[in-house]
Amino acid sequence: MLLGVPKETKYKEARVALTPDVIKELIKKGYKVVVEKDAGVNSYIKDEDFINAGVQIADKQTVYKADVVLKVNPPLPDEVAMMKKNAVLISFMWALTNPALVEACVKAEISAFSMDAIPRISRAQKMDALSSQANLAGYKAVILAADHLGKILPMMTTAAGTIKPAKVVIFGAGVAGLQAIATAKRLGAVVEVSDIRPETKEQVESLGGKFIEVKGDESIKVEGGYVKNVSEEFLKKQQELVAKHVQEADIVITTALIPGKKAPLLVTEQMVKSMRNGSVIVDMAVEQGGNVAGSKLNETIKTENGVTIIGESNLPSLLPMNASQLYAKNIQAFLLHLSDSNGFKWEMEEEITRGSLIVHQGKIVHPALLNKN
């Protein structure tokens, strides 16, 4: 079975779907691999490194004619059209909000698995690319904020006096939020955390963060680790409680996402205006509409009162060596679960297959899309 790895074309994307180390392991299992020229250059992987791993370097059209196309980002409909009938696509697809891609897969009569739809269950942890990438994003968000902050994070006692530690407020204690807490604590900051899921309190406190507790209501629904539903009334209550903490913060990091929906607004315009001159906000949800009033996609802006708002949409791509390495491992585990070198198993009732298969041989099969239609 021939695996094809195209060069990522999305703006500011530096990752690649497979790395030479993982390719060597897949070749040992009997797979063949073709990689587009310069596909790994932004991840500091030369074509020579791929060739030494046993790969054929080819043009884009050849790569898209492989039995299985492996990508990080969703391909464009025109790229899907290059694939041969009954081929398989594996990438992030965000299928609920990307109908044009789903339609292109149907039209091309291919099968497509989405990395963001893999069930978040214990036996799928090695395949969980959302977690591997969010982990890196949480780390980078703190480093980015620290770089823009005009002061240090830890307390420092000097002959000239004592510098107080910086205060970091984090919205959301998912994978990205927990890594942000751990990173900010390691750098010596005081960390406060808000999350509408009360069960995250213990995790936050185990990392040394202070939990800002908002009493929940019946509108909150959590599925697969994500908040699926929350009332406007509850969000307002949360905003009122955390407003004082935001006002006193040096750094605010927001991580709240709702799959298939616009990100909830957590930091209002008034809250931004209340912050001190020189403070920094990182909106990690900016690509889905943003958690912060005034944040702009892929821009770093400064407000009239001197608050820097960072709207970097692709934080894992700023760490392409690690991000590609981890994503390639996720792809490897997923591919070996779904197939062997002779072909796919197509165990349609198996939980991981059922949860991640969006289109099968030109037909939409994912329950969420069928229910939507």
| Paired strand residues for 69 | 4, 89
Q: How far apart are CA 203 and CA 328, in angstroms?
A: 28
Q: How far apart are CA 90 and CA 365, in angstroms?
A: 15
Q: What are the catalytic residues?
A: 120, 125, 128, 131, 226
Identify whether the C-beta of residue 123 lies closer than 8 Å to the C-beta of residue 116: no
Give the Å distances, CA to CA, from 273 to 79, 269, 281: 44, 6, 12
Residue showing tokens 């539903």: 229
- Which pair of tokens denotes residue 199? 């069960």
Q: How far apart are CA 172 and CA 151, in angstroms?
A: 24
Residue 357 three-state SS:
strand
Q: How far apart are CA 245 and CA 275, in angstroms?
A: 10
- Which pair of tokens denotes residue 172? 């959301």
- DSSP structure string for 28-84: HTT-EEEEETTTTGGGT--HHHHHHTTPEEE-HHHHHTSSEEE-SSPPPHHHHTTSP
Give the Å distances, CA to CA, from 9 to 31, 70, 94, 289: 25, 13, 17, 22
The DSSP output letter for 148 is H
